[in-house]
Amino acid sequence: MRVAIVGCGLVGNRRARALGESRLVAVADTNRTRAEQLAAHFPGCAASADWQSVVERPDVDLVIVATTNDALTPVALAAVQRRKHVLVEKPAARSAAELVPLIGAARQAGVTVKVGFNHRFHPALRKAHEIHRGGALGRLMYLRGRYGHGGRPGYAHEWRADPTRAGGGEMLDQGVHLIDLARWFAGDFVEVSGHVGTYFWDAPVEDNGFLLLKTAAGQVAWLHASWTEWKNLFCLEVFGTDGKLQIDGLGGSYGVERLAFYRMLPEMGPPESTIWEYPGEDPSWCAELDHLVECIAEGRTPSGSLDDALAALQIVERVYARSAR
């Protein structure tokens, strides 16, 4: 596919390196120098500070939107209205209300829009989901997830800590990944409780969020997202009546990606343990784009859709409302 990227920061650069057989034809960033630096790695790629001109190009099939949260929906909506397919980074909007018009526009235009929930495409998480769907865990009982980092000097002054640009704090940053993964394994949650608070960073948004979610069948997800996790951490545990799955690490500063499957034996006691490790470069970015291209070709709804993003945003907003009381 012929691809344009709007937003040439860290994530935009990662997306550009994960295009596979697709071709990057244009990039845009409000900082033109950043756009030019990215375009220089791709022969024939045009750079611009005007994202609208890039979205309007007739030689673009797919637009990747990797901007700050306040621009995600406006850029994606403009692309959809020009009948471009779109990959928009999570959380896709600052609020559920902001996202709803994009959902309607995508359906009307008949284009495919995927949200950047790349964690679904990490190999340990894909393998865990495959084991769960195959029934080896037995009946799903509950999930427990923790995700966080410790920020950096000046973090409270970056855009993620600006409620106007970001829409919220850590719950809209890493928290939506945990919510999305919990829904991927357990389905929709009908009961939402929890709390968000600012414990360390001098910022007008939360630096920690705690969630307790429950499905109609009584399955529970306990989730904690944190900007005060002084050693970067990702851990998701999935408990069934016949075993447990534990995913640790995402590569890089989060440690080697690892999946453990603990299968209970009839006599109980120590479980049968199987371990998979996935060292090396993070393949989720390439796998997610490959999945999107396949969905576009086959007319399928992608895994990590606009509806998935809407459900995650609605959960975040319910916790924000509870914490504001």
**Each residue's pLDDT tens digit, 114-124:** 999 999 999 99
Please give the average per-residue pLDDT across 186-209, as a whole number: 97
How do residues 294-304 score in pLDDT, each as one tens digit? 999 999 999 99
How do residues 30-64 score in pLDDT, each as one tens digit? 999 999 999 999 999 999 999 999 999 999 999 99
Give the pLDDT of residue 276.
Answer: 98
Give the pLDDT of residue 324.
Answer: 85
Give the pLDDT of residue 68.
Answer: 98
Q: Is the pLDDT of residue 318 over 90?
A: yes
Phi, psi of 275 (to 5 degrees): -120, 135
How many Cβ atoms sit within 10 Å of the Cβ of residue 218? Answer: 10
Q: How far apart are CA 82 and CA 109, in angstroms?
A: 8
Give the pair of three-digit tokens for residue 262: 């603990």
Give the pair of three-digit tokens for residue 153: 């000097």
Give the pLDDT of residue 325.
Answer: 63
How many Cβ atoms sit within 10 Å of the Cβ of residue 58? Answer: 7
Give the pair of three-digit tokens for residue 4: 């344009």
Chain mean pLDDT for the chain: 97
Please give the average per-residue pLDDT across 188-211, as a whole number: 97
- Closest listed residue to residue 261, CA positions, set 247, 249, 251, 241: 247
Q: How far apart are CA 196 and CA 169, in angstroms?
A: 9
How many Cβ atoms sit within 10 Å of the Cβ of residue 188? Answer: 10
- C-alpha separations of 154 from 158, 251, 253 in Å: 7, 25, 19
Do 323 and 205 meet the contact criterion of CB atoms below 8 Å apart? no
Strands 208-214 and 191-197: antiparallel
Q: How many CA atoms within 13 Å lie on the side-chain side of 85?
A: 20
Phi, psi of 318 (to 5 degrees): -65, -35
Q: How many CA atoms within 13 Å lie on the side-chain side of 217?
A: 9
Do 81 and 56 meet the contact criterion of CB atoms below 8 Å apart? no
Give the pLDDT of residue 37.
Answer: 97
- Closest listed residue to residue 119, CA positions, set 67, 78, 161, 173: 173
Please give the average per-residue pLDDT across 173-200, as a whole number: 98
Task: Indicate the pLDDT class of residue 257, thresholds 50, 70 and 90.
Answer: very high
- Its pTM stands at 0.97
How do residues 95-144 score in pLDDT, each as one tens digit? 999 999 999 999 999 999 999 999 999 999 999 999 999 999 999 999 99
The SS3 assignment for 138 reads coil
